[in-house]
Amino acid sequence: MTDIKKIRIEAIHLDQDDPKKCTAKKLERRGLIQCKTRISSAAKRGILLDPLSESLLSPSDLDLIEVGTLVALDCSWKRIHESVRIISKTTRLESRILPILLAGNPVSWGKRGRMSTAEALSASLYIVGRKDQAISLLTPFKFGDAFLDLNRQLLEAYSSCHSQTEVEEMQWEFFDRPSSDI
């Protein structure tokens, strides 16, 4: 049996939320990720989890993550547009948005896409086939099991896809497709 190299994980931490509730900082204290406070010191290759991106994360992104880093943006949802704009100008990371998932954290429980940094990173790892690392990322949190229980069927479905297109179609098997403004 071969050892699977762990995916390198970083968070660009912009210090915009309550530090006591910051999941990225808790992951860093546990030695599971690195937090970068300066955008210029963040990874240069890999994927940036960007909730404003138009490109969905899919299992086909594993190669890009393996040669680089999985990077989350840890900022306030209230300042997401400003934060993403700054980072997209200063990094060459490939932006990806997660397919529809439900938050399991107590602040945004059950809301579509309003995940904590830890949930987003875990979901990303799960989707690209690194399920053990995904699950271990959530162990420091009381809501970790709730997140996995809420999303297990979705995560399994997304991780079985081969492309962004398949992931996009798969999410509409679980959720209503948005109506187009024609």
Which span out of 10-24, 103-117, 145-159 was modeled with the highest average pLDDT? 145-159
| Predicted local confidence at residue 42, as pLDDT | 79
Residue range 32-42: mean pLDDT, rounded = 84
The pLDDT mean for the chain works out to 87
Lowest mean pLDDT among 25-34, 38-47, 126-135, 138-147: 38-47
Res. 22: pLDDT tops 60? yes
Res. 1: pLDDT tops 50? no
Cβ neighbours of residue 115 closer than 8 Å, sequence gap 6 or more? 98, 101, 103, 104, 105, 108, 123, 147
Angle between helices 144-159 and 164-174 (to 10 degrees): 120
Lowest mean pLDDT among 12-16, 58-62, 71-75: 12-16
Residue 57 Cα distances to 14, 96, 128, 139, angstroms: 23, 5, 8, 23
| Predicted local confidence at residue 18, as pLDDT | 67
DSSP 102: B
Cβ neighbours of residue 143 closer than 8 Å, sequence gap 6 or more? 104, 105, 106, 109
pTM of the model: 0.89
Res. 92: pLDDT tops 80? no
Q: Tens of pLDDT along 119-176?
A: 999 999 999 999 999 999 999 999 999 999 999 999 999 999 999 999 999 999 998 8
| Predicted local confidence at residue 2, as pLDDT | 43
